Structure 1
Amino acid sequence: MKTTLLLFITAITLSNIYAQEDSSFGFTKGDFIISGTMSYSYQNSDSFRDNIDGNMYQFGTKGHNFSIIPEIGYFVSTHFMTGLKFGYISSKTESFDNDLYYYTSKGKGYSTSIFGRYYFTPQKRVSLFIELEAGYIKNTIDSDRIFQINDLTASTNKIENYSVTAAPGINIFINKDLSLTSRIGRIGYSNIKDNFSNSQGHTGTNKRDSIDASISLNNFYFGLLYRI
């Protein structure tokens, strides 16, 4: 928490320093921007131990998650930008247990959102901003669960997520058109609907609302932003 607070104070100090300088860096009314994020994670784990019969017990998991979310924006005024985000997400997980249990899960989906962003010192090299975003995510996950030999259960989850979030951030120009940009935490509300069905004829719907807020280094990462 102390590290995060120091990081945020440093960002404010840098913004104030550059705000006092006459710089050709920064945004102005009529600018277009292209930006976005891309992430990939991979997991491969195996564990071994003896069971009560003295035989070796093995459990393993493999999987990956991938997402790419490009965004475009337009400065309707010197301080305010509005824009759109479109994204693709995918995931795959495989788990097994001594060849008696085998589980696979594959997910694909997309995301879309509109956002507005206010820059406090838009025509300077370093500027803090605040962003408000309304988004929608749809994801379909198909799963197969095999227990022992012939016991197969297939299921499908169709998940929809409506959300509204607010996030502070910082933008730092590398040159006159290219900059680093990052959000520093977030506060948001989500409404999630999960429709479930399986090969045994069972169906169900799960609805839930959630509110989350965080300011930590886990939410602090830099992406690239290009001004057209």
Structure 2
Amino acid sequence: MKKIILTVVALSVFGFANAQNKKESNLGFVKGDVFVSGALKFGSDSKVSYYKQDSFVFAPSVGYFVTDNIALGVNFDVGSGSVQATSASGKSKTSTFAAGLAGRYYFTPASQFTLFAELGAAFGMVKSTPVLGNITKVNSFGVALAPGLDYFVSKNFSLETKIALLSYTSSKGDWTGAEKASSVRFGADWTSFTFGANYKF
């Protein structure tokens, strides 16, 4: 009888320890998880012979899983860059700030490797400081659908990449006579490619 009791206790302890190890080694996301991201966004856009626009943006965000598959969060963009319109104009320095809300759907949230689709909307501002002339600002509003993926390298850390697939942007400058401009893009937009890392709480 004593041996049976000891065997049951030993099996129970082993089972509990094994369950704990499995729980601690679980990768991916579940309902109630909070994550903080820090992503980098690079952009380069050339349209005519001399026109060129380059940008570098740091994009932190915070998200919360309201279900196992759906996360809601807030996004920010802070960055700098340059724009050259003609060969004689020189490069104008630019600074960027944007803030918005986003929702994500994760297809396999509890896995080490998971794909997601993000729909987000944001308000932004770009300030341009030319070599000569006045400082100008362009205010904008945008909506974008972006697929992405997360790969967990540990229980709490994952690597993430994302690229815009469908986007709409509306913008207007703050100078006299400025006209409202809008654009729609469909297809992989490498000017909106991000790579970063997540920390899961």
1:118 positional shift: 0.7
Residue 186 (structure 1) aligns with: 165
Q: 1:123 aligns with which of 110, 128, 149?
A: 110
Say if 2:79 and 2:96, in contact at 8 Å, map to a contact too: yes
Amino-acid identity (%): 30
Write the distance in 1 (CA, Å) between the matches of 2:42 and 2:106.
29
CA distance 1:163–1:91, shift in 2 (3 Å): same
Alignment of 1:82-121 (within 5 A): 82-92=72-82, 103=90, 105-121=92-108
Say if 1:172 and 1:180, in contact at 8 Å, map to a contact too: yes
1:206 positional shift: 2.0
Instruction: Tell me, yes or no, if structure 1 residue 72 matches structure 2 residue 45.
Output: no
Write the distance in 2 (CA, Å) between the matches of 1:183 and 1:94.
27
Write the letter of the residue equivalent to 1:125: Q
CA distance 1:190–1:93, shift in 2 (3 Å): closer
1:221 positional shift: 5.3
Write the distance in 2 (CA, Å) between the matches of 1:172 and 1:213.
26
1:212 positional shift: 0.3
1:85 positional shift: 1.2
Instruction: Tell me, yes or no, if structure 1 residue 226 matches structure 2 residue 199.
Output: yes
Residue 24 (structure 1) aligns with: 26
Deviations 1:143-191 (A, max 9, x none): 233xxxxxxxx13321011011111221111111111112244101111
Write the distance in 2 (CA, Å) between the matches of 1:34 and 1:139.
25
TM-score normalised over the length of structure 2:
0.72
Residue 36 (structure 2) aligns with: 34
Residue 215 (structure 1) aligns with: 188
1:106 positional shift: 2.6
Write the distance in 2 (CA, Å) between the matches of 1:188 and 1:113.
14
Write the letter of the residue equivalent to 1:189: Y
Write the distance in 1 (CA, Å) between the matches of 2:190 and 2:199.
24
CA distance 1:78–1:137, shift in 2 (3 Å): same
Residue 160 (structure 1) aligns with: 139
RMSD: 3.2
CA distance 1:81–1:141, shift in 2 (3 Å): same
**Residue correspondences, number:** 173
Say if 2:30 and 2:110, in contact at 8 Å, map to a contact too: yes
Write the letter of the residue equivalent to 1:83: G
Alignment of 1:170-185 (within 5 A): 170-185=149-164
CA distance 1:142–1:222, shift in 2 (3 Å): closer
TM-score normalised over the length of structure 1:
0.64
Further displaced range: 23-32 or 71-80: 23-32
1:112 positional shift: 0.6
Write the letter of the residue equivalent to 1:127: T
CA distance 1:181–1:39, shift in 2 (3 Å): closer
Write the letter of the residue equivalent to 2:96: G
Deviations 1:108-150 (A, max 9, x none): 23111110001111111111111100011111212233xxxxx
